[in-house]
Amino acid sequence: MLIAGNWKMFKGPAEAGEFCRALRDVDLPSVVDVVVCPPYVSLAASVQALAGTEIGVFAQNCHWEDQGAFTGEVSAPMLQELGVYGTLIGHSERRQLFGETDATVARRVHACLEAGLHVIACVGETDEERDKGATHAVLRRQVAAFEPDENLVIAYEPVWAIGTGKTATPQMAQEAHETIKELIDVPMLYGGSVKPDNAAELMAQPAIDGALVGGASLEIDSFAAICRAAIPS
């Protein structure tokens, strides 16, 4: 099981360092892999605070070029120089708010894997697409951009459940994960309003290999509770 905490645009370097030092003292289950995904400005502080632990630090995005005239972007070699272990790619907020497409997500994923970073690639349908019965078609289209890789994980995050308090039922999540696993054999995370009170039931589904956690990863107690809920039964 893998639990990844996406902090989005929260926690500057001082707060990130404080959180990570507190996370070091939490008794996290050894059978669960844990990563945190701070904003760019907090990556170095997080790497330093978690040095010597098994907790990984991921970025929230990464460009496909190593360097160049790409204002506001960060490359895989830059992340690796900081000691960053991997990165999210294609989060729904990147797709919905910043114009990411299946094509640009694919370029980012390929470049990061080639550079040796671990990648959590995000896919998921909007509320409108689900209402039209297009969920599985959307997932097939998005997943077609990827190829199996030992460092690739896919996160299914229904866009309608991101930050809304809505959550896919365990059966809905299971069905979506089954669709994706028919197309590509890599570990699968569920993301979309994962909380301590629904984490265990979601992760008990056979096709779900962990969780991509948003708001509930910002507090130590709730994040730790979700990590403990991932212990295989």
Give the residues across from 9 on adjacent strands.
none
Angle subtended at Cα 73 by Cα 127 and Cα 42, rounded to the nearest 5 degrees: 85
Residue 212: closest CA among 146, 163, 178, 179: 163
CB atoms within 10 A of CB 232: 9
Which of these is catalytic: 93, 100, 125, 157? 157
Structure tokens at 131: 């209402």
Closest CA to 115 of 160, 163, 67, 161: 67
Would you state the structure tokens that stand for residue 22, as one six-digit string?
A: 């507190």
91 is catalytic: yes
Q: For residues 6 and 158, give the distance between their C-alpha atoms in angstroms, rounded to a whole number.
A: 15
Active-site residue among 63, 91, 118, 177?
Answer: 91
CA distance 190 to 200: 12
Instruction: Indicate if the alpha-carbon torsion angle 176, 1, 107, 6 is positive or negative.
Output: positive
Active-site amino acid positions? 91, 157
